[in-house]
Structure 1
Amino acid sequence: MNILVIEDNKSVCSMLEMFFAKEGIKGEFVNDGLEGYNRFKEGTWDALIVDWMLPGMDGVTICRKIREEKYTVPIIMLTAKDTESDQVLGLEMGADDYVTKPFSPLTLMARIKAVTRRVQTQVVHKTEDFLQTEHFKISKSTREVLVNGKSVTNLTPKEFDLLCYMAEHPKQVFSREQLLERVWGYQFYGDERTVDVHIKRLRKKVEPATQPFFHTVWGVGYKFDESTQADKN
Protein backbone atom coordinates (compact mmCIF):
# COMPACT_ATOMS: atom_id res chain seq x y z
CA MET A 1 0.00 0.00 0.00
CA ASN A 2 1.00 3.59 -0.63
CA ILE A 3 -0.37 5.96 2.00
CA LEU A 4 -0.14 9.73 2.29
CA VAL A 5 -0.13 11.10 5.85
CA ILE A 6 -0.82 14.81 6.35
CA GLU A 7 0.10 15.42 9.99
CA ASP A 8 2.06 18.27 11.62
CA ASN A 9 3.01 16.37 14.76
CA LYS A 10 6.43 14.93 13.97
CA SER A 11 6.28 12.46 16.87
CA VAL A 12 3.09 10.98 15.44
CA CYS A 13 4.73 10.80 12.01
CA SER A 14 7.78 9.02 13.40
CA MET A 15 5.59 6.49 15.20
CA LEU A 16 3.54 5.82 12.06
CA GLU A 17 6.64 5.53 9.92
CA MET A 18 7.94 2.80 12.21
CA PHE A 19 4.67 0.85 12.09
CA PHE A 20 4.34 1.31 8.33
CA ALA A 21 7.79 -0.21 7.87
CA LYS A 22 6.80 -3.17 10.04
CA GLU A 23 3.64 -3.72 7.95
CA GLY A 24 5.37 -3.28 4.60
CA ILE A 25 3.48 -0.07 3.82
CA LYS A 26 5.02 2.78 1.88
CA GLY A 27 4.21 6.06 3.59
CA GLU A 28 4.82 9.66 2.63
CA PHE A 29 4.54 12.32 5.33
CA VAL A 30 3.68 15.98 4.86
CA ASN A 31 3.42 18.46 7.75
CA ASP A 32 1.44 21.26 6.09
CA GLY A 33 -2.20 21.00 5.00
CA LEU A 34 -1.99 22.94 1.75
CA GLU A 35 1.25 21.21 0.77
CA GLY A 36 -0.31 17.85 1.61
CA TYR A 37 -3.41 18.57 -0.47
CA ASN A 38 -1.25 19.49 -3.46
CA ARG A 39 0.90 16.39 -2.96
CA PHE A 40 -2.23 14.25 -2.87
CA LYS A 41 -3.24 15.47 -6.33
CA GLU A 42 0.21 14.68 -7.71
CA GLY A 43 0.29 11.01 -6.68
CA THR A 44 -1.71 7.80 -6.58
CA TRP A 45 -2.64 6.65 -3.09
CA ASP A 46 -4.31 3.64 -1.51
CA ALA A 47 -5.38 5.66 1.52
CA LEU A 48 -5.07 9.11 3.03
CA ILE A 49 -4.60 9.90 6.73
CA VAL A 50 -5.32 13.53 7.61
CA ASP A 51 -5.03 15.40 10.88
CA TRP A 52 -7.94 17.71 11.72
CA MET A 53 -5.85 20.70 12.84
CA LEU A 54 -3.14 21.63 10.33
CA PRO A 55 -1.26 24.74 9.22
CA GLY A 56 -2.00 25.93 5.70
CA MET A 57 -5.31 24.06 5.28
CA ASP A 58 -7.25 22.15 7.92
CA GLY A 59 -8.10 18.48 7.53
CA VAL A 60 -11.86 18.99 7.15
CA THR A 61 -11.27 21.34 4.21
CA ILE A 62 -8.85 18.88 2.62
CA CYS A 63 -11.42 16.11 2.95
CA ARG A 64 -14.24 18.25 1.54
CA LYS A 65 -12.19 19.39 -1.45
CA ILE A 66 -11.08 15.85 -2.28
CA ARG A 67 -14.69 14.62 -2.30
CA GLU A 68 -15.89 17.64 -4.30
CA GLU A 69 -13.31 16.74 -6.93
CA LYS A 70 -14.71 13.16 -7.07
CA TYR A 71 -11.68 11.34 -5.67
CA THR A 72 -12.74 8.07 -4.01
CA VAL A 73 -9.58 7.29 -2.04
CA PRO A 74 -10.34 6.05 1.52
CA ILE A 75 -9.76 8.81 4.10
CA ILE A 76 -9.09 8.39 7.81
CA MET A 77 -9.17 11.57 9.89
CA LEU A 78 -7.03 11.98 13.01
CA THR A 79 -8.60 14.30 15.54
CA ALA A 80 -8.08 15.51 19.09
CA LYS A 81 -11.71 16.70 19.01
CA ASP A 82 -13.79 14.11 20.82
CA THR A 83 -17.24 15.68 20.74
CA GLU A 84 -19.94 13.98 18.70
CA SER A 85 -20.62 17.07 16.56
CA ASP A 86 -16.96 17.33 15.54
CA GLN A 87 -16.72 13.67 14.63
CA VAL A 88 -19.96 13.78 12.67
CA LEU A 89 -18.70 16.85 10.79
CA GLY A 90 -15.62 14.95 9.66
CA LEU A 91 -17.74 12.06 8.40
CA GLU A 92 -20.16 14.39 6.65
CA MET A 93 -17.28 16.03 4.79
CA GLY A 94 -16.46 12.61 3.31
CA ALA A 95 -14.08 10.90 5.73
CA ASP A 96 -14.55 7.13 5.83
CA ASP A 97 -13.39 6.84 9.41
CA TYR A 98 -11.81 8.81 12.23
CA VAL A 99 -9.40 8.02 15.05
CA THR A 100 -9.34 10.15 18.19
CA LYS A 101 -5.99 11.17 19.65
CA PRO A 102 -4.22 9.78 21.58
CA PHE A 103 -4.52 6.50 19.70
CA SER A 104 -2.86 3.12 19.54
CA PRO A 105 -0.87 2.53 16.34
CA LEU A 106 -2.31 -0.98 16.26
CA THR A 107 -5.82 0.47 16.24
CA LEU A 108 -4.95 2.80 13.39
CA MET A 109 -3.37 -0.06 11.42
CA ALA A 110 -6.58 -2.06 11.85
CA ARG A 111 -8.60 0.88 10.55
CA ILE A 112 -6.28 1.34 7.56
CA LYS A 113 -6.54 -2.33 6.63
CA ALA A 114 -10.31 -2.24 7.03
CA VAL A 115 -10.96 0.78 4.79
CA THR A 116 -8.64 -0.50 2.05
CA ARG A 117 -9.55 -4.20 2.21
CA ARG A 118 -12.92 -3.91 0.54
CA VAL A 119 -11.55 -1.85 -2.35
CA GLN A 120 -8.82 -4.43 -2.98
CA THR A 121 -11.28 -7.32 -2.69
CA GLN A 122 -13.64 -5.79 -5.22
CA VAL A 123 -10.83 -5.44 -7.76
CA VAL A 124 -10.05 -9.14 -7.44
CA HIS A 125 -13.63 -10.47 -7.69
CA LYS A 126 -14.63 -8.95 -11.01
CA THR A 127 -16.69 -12.00 -11.97
CA GLU A 128 -19.11 -11.10 -9.19
CA ASP A 129 -19.19 -7.53 -10.38
CA PHE A 130 -22.77 -6.56 -11.05
CA LEU A 131 -25.75 -6.08 -8.74
CA GLN A 132 -29.20 -5.13 -9.97
CA THR A 133 -32.32 -4.50 -7.90
CA GLU A 134 -35.67 -2.93 -8.68
CA HIS A 135 -34.26 0.62 -8.60
CA PHE A 136 -30.47 0.15 -8.56
CA LYS A 137 -27.74 -0.99 -10.92
CA ILE A 138 -24.38 -1.27 -9.15
CA SER A 139 -20.98 -2.18 -10.61
CA LYS A 140 -18.54 -3.28 -7.93
CA SER A 141 -15.41 -3.07 -10.08
CA THR A 142 -16.05 0.44 -11.46
CA ARG A 143 -18.01 1.50 -8.35
CA GLU A 144 -20.73 3.01 -10.53
CA VAL A 145 -24.28 3.40 -9.24
CA LEU A 146 -27.46 4.06 -11.20
CA VAL A 147 -30.72 4.84 -9.42
CA ASN A 148 -33.74 4.60 -11.71
CA GLY A 149 -31.35 4.98 -14.63
CA LYS A 150 -29.65 8.12 -13.28
CA SER A 151 -25.98 8.06 -12.34
CA VAL A 152 -24.93 8.82 -8.75
CA THR A 153 -21.35 10.08 -8.83
CA ASN A 154 -20.81 11.64 -5.39
CA LEU A 155 -20.67 8.59 -3.11
CA THR A 156 -17.68 8.22 -0.81
CA PRO A 157 -15.99 4.78 -0.70
CA LYS A 158 -17.70 3.80 2.54
CA GLU A 159 -21.09 5.07 1.35
CA PHE A 160 -20.72 2.85 -1.71
CA ASP A 161 -19.68 -0.14 0.42
CA LEU A 162 -22.63 0.33 2.77
CA LEU A 163 -25.10 0.69 -0.10
CA CYS A 164 -23.71 -2.38 -1.85
CA TYR A 165 -23.77 -4.54 1.28
CA MET A 166 -27.32 -3.62 2.24
CA ALA A 167 -28.61 -3.95 -1.34
CA GLU A 168 -27.14 -7.47 -1.40
CA HIS A 169 -29.22 -8.30 1.70
CA PRO A 170 -32.67 -6.78 1.03
CA LYS A 171 -35.16 -6.63 3.92
CA GLN A 172 -32.59 -8.05 6.34
CA VAL A 173 -32.39 -6.01 9.52
CA PHE A 174 -28.86 -5.15 10.69
CA SER A 175 -27.81 -3.64 13.97
CA ARG A 176 -25.32 -0.80 13.87
CA GLU A 177 -22.73 -3.11 15.40
CA GLN A 178 -23.23 -5.66 12.61
CA LEU A 179 -22.87 -3.01 9.90
CA LEU A 180 -19.72 -1.64 11.50
CA GLU A 181 -18.18 -5.10 11.61
CA ARG A 182 -19.26 -6.21 8.13
CA VAL A 183 -18.82 -2.99 6.15
CA TRP A 184 -16.01 -1.27 8.05
CA GLY A 185 -14.33 -4.57 8.85
CA TYR A 186 -13.93 -4.21 12.62
CA GLN A 187 -15.84 -3.15 15.68
CA PHE A 188 -16.24 0.48 16.70
CA TYR A 189 -17.02 0.30 20.39
CA GLY A 190 -19.21 3.30 21.22
CA ASP A 191 -19.04 4.85 17.74
CA GLU A 192 -22.36 3.70 16.33
CA ARG A 193 -23.15 7.22 15.06
CA THR A 194 -20.75 6.48 12.21
CA VAL A 195 -23.44 4.26 10.70
CA ASP A 196 -26.15 6.87 11.33
CA VAL A 197 -24.17 9.53 9.48
CA HIS A 198 -23.55 7.29 6.46
CA ILE A 199 -27.21 6.22 6.29
CA LYS A 200 -28.26 9.87 6.46
CA ARG A 201 -25.93 10.79 3.60
CA LEU A 202 -27.06 7.84 1.48
CA ARG A 203 -30.67 8.88 1.95
CA LYS A 204 -29.87 12.34 0.65
CA LYS A 205 -27.88 11.07 -2.31
CA VAL A 206 -29.84 8.08 -3.64
CA GLU A 207 -33.43 8.21 -2.39
CA PRO A 208 -36.20 9.84 -4.44
CA ALA A 209 -38.48 12.07 -2.36
CA THR A 210 -41.34 9.55 -2.53
CA GLN A 211 -39.39 6.30 -2.24
CA PRO A 212 -37.31 5.51 0.84
CA PHE A 213 -34.84 2.64 0.58
CA PHE A 214 -33.12 2.74 3.98
CA HIS A 215 -35.53 2.15 6.85
CA THR A 216 -34.92 2.57 10.56
CA VAL A 217 -36.02 -0.41 12.63
CA TRP A 218 -36.47 1.10 16.05
CA GLY A 219 -34.46 -0.54 18.80
CA VAL A 220 -32.49 -2.64 16.30
CA GLY A 221 -30.89 -0.79 13.38
CA TYR A 222 -31.54 -0.48 9.65
CA LYS A 223 -32.77 -2.43 6.64
CA PHE A 224 -32.74 -1.90 2.87
CA ASP A 225 -36.21 -2.37 1.39
CA GLU A 226 -37.41 -1.09 -2.00
CA SER A 227 -40.84 -2.66 -1.73
CA THR A 228 -42.37 -0.46 0.96
CA GLN A 229 -43.43 3.15 1.22
CA ALA A 230 -43.10 3.04 5.01
CA ASP A 231 -41.64 5.95 6.91
CA LYS A 232 -37.84 5.76 6.75
CA ASN A 233 -37.24 7.73 9.97
Structure 2
Amino acid sequence: MEITHVLLAEDDFDFGSILKQYLEIHSFEVTWALDGKEAYTLFKKASESATQRFDICVFDVMMPKMDGFTLAEKVLEINPEIPFVFLTAKKMKEDKIQGLKLGADDYIVKPFEADILVLRLQNILKRVQKTTHTVKKETSYHIGTYLFDPINHQLHYNGTIQRITDKEAQLIKYLFSNKNELIKREDLLLHIWGNDDFFSGRSMDVFLSKLRKYFNQDPAITIESTRNVGLTFKISGT
Protein backbone atom coordinates (compact mmCIF):
# COMPACT_ATOMS: atom_id res chain seq x y z
CA MET A 1 0.00 0.00 0.00
CA GLU A 2 1.35 3.44 -0.97
CA ILE A 3 2.16 5.68 2.00
CA THR A 4 0.83 9.25 2.06
CA HIS A 5 3.41 11.81 3.17
CA VAL A 6 2.02 14.74 5.18
CA LEU A 7 3.78 17.99 6.02
CA LEU A 8 2.40 19.17 9.36
CA ALA A 9 3.20 22.71 10.53
CA GLU A 10 1.99 23.26 14.11
CA ASP A 11 3.76 25.31 16.78
CA ASP A 12 1.80 23.90 19.75
CA PHE A 13 4.08 21.04 20.82
CA ASP A 14 1.48 19.00 22.71
CA PHE A 15 -1.20 19.35 20.02
CA GLY A 16 1.27 18.74 17.19
CA SER A 17 2.58 15.63 18.92
CA ILE A 18 -0.94 14.23 19.27
CA LEU A 19 -1.79 14.92 15.62
CA LYS A 20 1.46 13.37 14.40
CA GLN A 21 0.94 10.20 16.42
CA TYR A 22 -2.72 9.90 15.41
CA LEU A 23 -1.95 10.35 11.71
CA GLU A 24 0.84 7.78 11.90
CA ILE A 25 -1.54 5.30 13.53
CA HIS A 26 -3.70 5.72 10.41
CA SER A 27 -0.79 4.91 8.09
CA PHE A 28 0.28 8.46 7.18
CA GLU A 29 3.97 9.36 7.10
CA VAL A 30 4.30 12.70 8.93
CA THR A 31 7.03 15.32 8.86
CA TRP A 32 6.35 17.86 11.59
CA ALA A 33 7.64 21.44 11.72
CA LEU A 34 7.24 23.73 14.74
CA ASP A 35 7.08 26.95 12.74
CA GLY A 36 6.30 28.14 9.23
CA LYS A 37 9.87 28.89 8.24
CA GLU A 38 11.01 25.36 9.11
CA ALA A 39 8.02 23.91 7.22
CA TYR A 40 8.90 25.92 4.11
CA THR A 41 12.52 24.74 4.23
CA LEU A 42 11.36 21.12 4.52
CA PHE A 43 8.89 21.47 1.64
CA LYS A 44 11.44 23.15 -0.62
CA LYS A 45 14.02 20.46 0.11
CA ALA A 46 11.49 17.68 -0.49
CA SER A 47 10.39 19.21 -3.81
CA GLU A 48 13.93 18.78 -5.09
CA SER A 49 13.84 15.07 -4.27
CA ALA A 50 12.35 12.43 -6.54
CA THR A 51 11.30 10.18 -3.66
CA GLN A 52 10.53 12.36 -0.61
CA ARG A 53 7.88 14.75 -1.90
CA PHE A 54 4.81 15.59 0.18
CA ASP A 55 1.31 14.52 -0.86
CA ILE A 56 -0.67 16.94 1.32
CA CYS A 57 -0.01 19.76 3.80
CA VAL A 58 -1.64 20.66 7.13
CA PHE A 59 -0.79 24.20 8.30
CA ASP A 60 -1.70 25.98 11.50
CA VAL A 61 -2.55 29.59 10.69
CA MET A 62 -0.93 31.31 13.69
CA MET A 63 2.74 30.33 13.88
CA PRO A 64 6.02 32.09 14.71
CA LYS A 65 8.53 33.16 12.03
CA MET A 66 6.02 32.57 9.21
CA ASP A 67 2.22 32.29 9.47
CA GLY A 68 0.23 29.56 7.74
CA PHE A 69 -1.15 31.81 4.99
CA THR A 70 2.30 33.05 3.98
CA LEU A 71 3.62 29.51 4.15
CA ALA A 72 0.84 28.29 1.84
CA GLU A 73 1.58 31.04 -0.68
CA LYS A 74 5.26 30.08 -0.81
CA VAL A 75 4.47 26.36 -1.03
CA LEU A 76 2.05 26.96 -3.90
CA GLU A 77 4.78 28.81 -5.81
CA ILE A 78 6.77 25.57 -5.72
CA ASN A 79 3.85 23.20 -6.35
CA PRO A 80 0.50 24.77 -7.37
CA GLU A 81 -1.20 21.36 -7.22
CA ILE A 82 -0.43 20.43 -3.60
CA PRO A 83 -3.63 20.02 -1.52
CA PHE A 84 -3.57 21.69 1.87
CA VAL A 85 -5.67 22.21 4.99
CA PHE A 86 -5.59 25.09 7.48
CA LEU A 87 -5.91 24.60 11.24
CA THR A 88 -6.91 27.61 13.31
CA ALA A 89 -8.27 28.66 16.67
CA LYS A 90 -9.84 31.67 15.00
CA LYS A 91 -13.40 31.85 13.75
CA MET A 92 -13.05 35.17 11.98
CA LYS A 93 -14.79 35.41 8.61
CA GLU A 94 -11.81 37.28 7.12
CA ASP A 95 -9.44 34.40 7.93
CA LYS A 96 -11.69 31.86 6.26
CA ILE A 97 -12.02 34.00 3.15
CA GLN A 98 -8.26 34.44 2.96
CA GLY A 99 -7.80 30.68 3.22
CA LEU A 100 -10.38 30.11 0.51
CA LYS A 101 -8.73 32.59 -1.82
CA LEU A 102 -5.48 30.67 -1.47
CA GLY A 103 -7.33 27.55 -2.62
CA ALA A 104 -7.41 25.65 0.67
CA ASP A 105 -9.07 22.25 0.45
CA ASP A 106 -10.40 22.56 3.98
CA TYR A 107 -10.37 24.83 7.03
CA ILE A 108 -10.67 23.20 10.46
CA VAL A 109 -11.36 25.29 13.56
CA LYS A 110 -9.79 24.21 16.86
CA PRO A 111 -10.61 22.43 19.04
CA PHE A 112 -11.41 19.34 16.98
CA GLU A 113 -11.07 15.59 17.31
CA ALA A 114 -8.02 14.09 15.60
CA ASP A 115 -10.17 11.58 13.73
CA ILE A 116 -11.91 14.52 12.01
CA LEU A 117 -8.60 15.56 10.48
CA VAL A 118 -7.90 11.99 9.36
CA LEU A 119 -11.27 11.75 7.62
CA ARG A 120 -10.88 15.13 5.95
CA LEU A 121 -7.42 14.22 4.63
CA GLN A 122 -8.62 10.85 3.37
CA ASN A 123 -11.54 12.46 1.52
CA ILE A 124 -9.33 15.12 -0.07
CA LEU A 125 -6.79 12.55 -1.22
CA LYS A 126 -9.50 10.33 -2.71
CA ARG A 127 -10.79 13.23 -4.80
CA VAL A 128 -7.29 14.21 -5.91
CA GLN A 129 -6.37 10.64 -6.89
CA LYS A 130 -9.66 10.10 -8.71
CA THR A 131 -9.27 13.32 -10.68
CA THR A 132 -5.64 12.64 -11.56
CA HIS A 133 -6.58 9.21 -12.87
CA THR A 134 -9.41 10.65 -14.98
CA VAL A 135 -7.56 13.68 -16.29
CA LYS A 136 -4.70 11.61 -17.68
CA LYS A 137 -7.14 9.99 -20.13
CA GLU A 138 -8.29 13.32 -21.57
CA THR A 139 -6.94 15.45 -24.42
CA SER A 140 -7.08 19.20 -24.94
CA TYR A 141 -10.32 20.65 -26.27
CA HIS A 142 -11.80 24.00 -27.21
CA ILE A 143 -14.05 26.08 -24.96
CA GLY A 144 -15.17 29.03 -27.05
CA THR A 145 -11.98 30.74 -28.20
CA TYR A 146 -9.95 29.06 -25.43
CA LEU A 147 -8.05 25.81 -25.51
CA PHE A 148 -8.31 23.83 -22.27
CA ASP A 149 -5.44 21.44 -21.55
CA PRO A 150 -6.42 19.38 -18.47
CA ILE A 151 -3.32 17.21 -18.65
CA ASN A 152 -0.88 20.09 -18.22
CA HIS A 153 -3.34 22.26 -16.25
CA GLN A 154 -3.33 25.11 -18.75
CA LEU A 155 -5.86 27.42 -20.34
CA HIS A 156 -4.67 28.89 -23.65
CA TYR A 157 -5.97 32.10 -25.20
CA ASN A 158 -4.56 34.10 -28.10
CA GLY A 159 -0.98 32.99 -27.50
CA THR A 160 -1.10 33.37 -23.72
CA ILE A 161 -1.16 30.55 -21.19
CA GLN A 162 -3.03 30.67 -17.87
CA ARG A 163 -1.67 28.15 -15.41
CA ILE A 164 -4.54 26.59 -13.41
CA THR A 165 -4.72 24.40 -10.34
CA ASP A 166 -5.98 20.84 -10.24
CA LYS A 167 -9.27 21.87 -8.63
CA GLU A 168 -9.79 24.62 -11.21
CA ALA A 169 -9.24 22.01 -13.91
CA GLN A 170 -11.82 19.74 -12.27
CA LEU A 171 -14.31 22.57 -12.11
CA ILE A 172 -13.81 23.62 -15.73
CA LYS A 173 -14.18 20.03 -16.87
CA TYR A 174 -17.44 19.55 -14.99
CA LEU A 175 -18.89 22.88 -16.11
CA PHE A 176 -17.97 22.26 -19.74
CA SER A 177 -19.42 18.74 -19.70
CA ASN A 178 -22.71 20.31 -18.52
CA LYS A 179 -22.54 23.50 -20.60
CA ASN A 180 -25.73 25.46 -21.25
CA GLU A 181 -27.55 23.46 -18.56
CA LEU A 182 -28.64 24.58 -15.10
CA ILE A 183 -26.35 22.86 -12.59
CA LYS A 184 -27.59 22.59 -9.01
CA ARG A 185 -25.16 23.93 -6.41
CA GLU A 186 -25.34 20.78 -4.33
CA ASP A 187 -24.56 18.58 -7.34
CA LEU A 188 -21.49 20.64 -8.20
CA LEU A 189 -20.32 20.72 -4.59
CA LEU A 190 -20.71 16.99 -4.10
CA HIS A 191 -18.93 16.20 -7.36
CA ILE A 192 -15.91 18.49 -6.86
CA TRP A 193 -15.67 19.07 -3.08
CA GLY A 194 -17.22 15.84 -1.84
CA ASN A 195 -19.73 17.63 0.43
CA ASP A 196 -22.09 20.60 0.39
CA ASP A 197 -21.31 22.28 3.72
CA PHE A 198 -20.82 26.01 4.27
CA PHE A 199 -17.03 25.92 3.85
CA SER A 200 -17.26 24.07 0.55
CA GLY A 201 -19.92 26.46 -0.69
CA ARG A 202 -17.76 29.51 0.04
CA SER A 203 -14.75 27.79 -1.49
CA MET A 204 -16.73 27.08 -4.67
CA ASP A 205 -17.81 30.72 -4.93
CA VAL A 206 -14.16 31.80 -4.77
CA PHE A 207 -13.19 29.36 -7.51
CA LEU A 208 -16.10 30.42 -9.72
CA SER A 209 -14.98 34.02 -9.36
CA LYS A 210 -11.53 33.00 -10.58
CA LEU A 211 -12.97 31.16 -13.57
CA ARG A 212 -15.05 34.18 -14.56
CA LYS A 213 -11.81 36.19 -14.74
CA TYR A 214 -10.06 33.47 -16.74
CA PHE A 215 -12.82 33.37 -19.36
CA ASN A 216 -13.61 37.09 -19.51
CA GLN A 217 -11.77 37.56 -22.83
CA ASP A 218 -14.52 35.69 -24.69
CA PRO A 219 -17.93 37.45 -24.43
CA ALA A 220 -19.61 34.24 -25.63
CA ILE A 221 -18.67 32.52 -22.34
CA THR A 222 -20.51 33.38 -19.12
CA ILE A 223 -21.10 31.72 -15.75
CA GLU A 224 -24.60 32.77 -14.72
CA SER A 225 -25.94 32.19 -11.20
CA THR A 226 -29.57 31.43 -10.37
CA ARG A 227 -30.11 32.46 -6.74
CA ASN A 228 -30.66 29.54 -4.33
CA VAL A 229 -30.68 27.06 -7.22
CA GLY A 230 -27.43 26.79 -9.12
CA LEU A 231 -25.52 28.11 -12.11
CA THR A 232 -25.18 27.75 -15.87
CA PHE A 233 -21.94 27.66 -17.85
CA LYS A 234 -23.17 29.33 -21.02
CA ILE A 235 -21.30 29.20 -24.32
CA SER A 236 -23.14 31.03 -27.07
CA GLY A 237 -23.26 29.30 -30.44
CA THR A 238 -22.91 25.77 -29.07
Same fold (TM over 0.5): yes
User: How big is each residue's C-alpha offset from its partner over 1:69-89, in whole Å with a ceiling of 9 and x where there is no partner?
Assistant: 453211111122212222011
Which residue identity lines up with residue 35 of structure 1 in the other structure? Answer: E
C-alpha distance in 2 between matches for 1:105 and 1:187:
22
Query: What percentage of residue pairs aligned between the two structures are identical?
Result: 29
RMSD: 2.5
Residue by residue, what CA displacement relative to the aligned partner does 1:125-178 show, whole Å, maximum 9, x if unpaired?
46632252433433444333334663211x333223222222222123333333
Q: What is the distance in 2 between the residues matched to 1:163 and 1:125?
A: 14
Partner of 1:3: 6
The one of 202, 206, 212 equivalent to 1:203 is 212
Cα distance in 2, alignment partners of residues 209 and 85 from structure 1: 32
My pick for the range that moved more, 135-144 or 83-92, is: 135-144
Q: Paired residue for 2:170, among 156, 161, 169?
A: 161
Determine helix, strand or coil for the equivalent of 2:143: coil
Task: Tell me the secondary structure at the aligned position of residue 130 of structure 1.
Answer: coil
Deviation, 1:104, is: 2.9
**Within 5 Å, which residues of 2 pair with 1:52-67?**
52-67=61-76
Q: Give the match's secondary structure for 1:225.
A: strand
Equivalent in 137, 149, 154 of residue 144 of structure 1: 154
**d(CA) in 1 for partners of 2:235 and 2:119?**
34
Post-superposition CA distance 1:209-230 (Å, at most 9, x none)? 74543221122122222228xx
Q: Distance in 1 between matches of 2:130 and 2:198?
A: 25
> What TM-score do you get using the length of structure 1 for normalisation?
0.84
Retained in 2: the 8 A contact 1:77–1:90?
yes
Measured in 2, the distance between the counterparts of 1:102 and 1:174 equals 35
Contact 1:114 1:186 in 2 (8 A): no
What SS does the corresponding residue of 2:235 show, helix, strand or coil?
coil
Equivalent residue in structure 2 for 1:87, among 86, 96, 101: 96
Tell which structure's C-alpha radius of gyration is larger. Answer: 2
**TM-score (normalised: structure 2):** 0.82
Q: How do 1:65-214 residues align onto structure 2 when only pairs under 5 Å count? A: 65-69=74-78, 71-125=80-134, 128-130=137-139, 132-135=141-144, 136-147=146-157, 150-153=160-163, 155-189=164-198, 192-208=201-217, 210-214=219-223
Q: For each residue in 1:181-209, what CA deviation from the matched residue of structure 2 results, as whole angstroms up to 9, or x when unmatched?
A: 21012342565222111111222234327
Q: Deviations over 1:45-64 (max 9, x none)?
A: 11111111010101111122
Q: Which runs of 5+ in 2 are unaligned?
A: 47-52
Q: Are residues 119 and 10 of structure 1, via their aligned partners in 2, closer, same or farther at CA, if it must alter by over 3 Å?
A: same
Q: Distance in 1 between matches of 2:210 and 2:126?
A: 22
Indicate which of 24, 34, 57 corresponds to 2:27.
Answer: 24
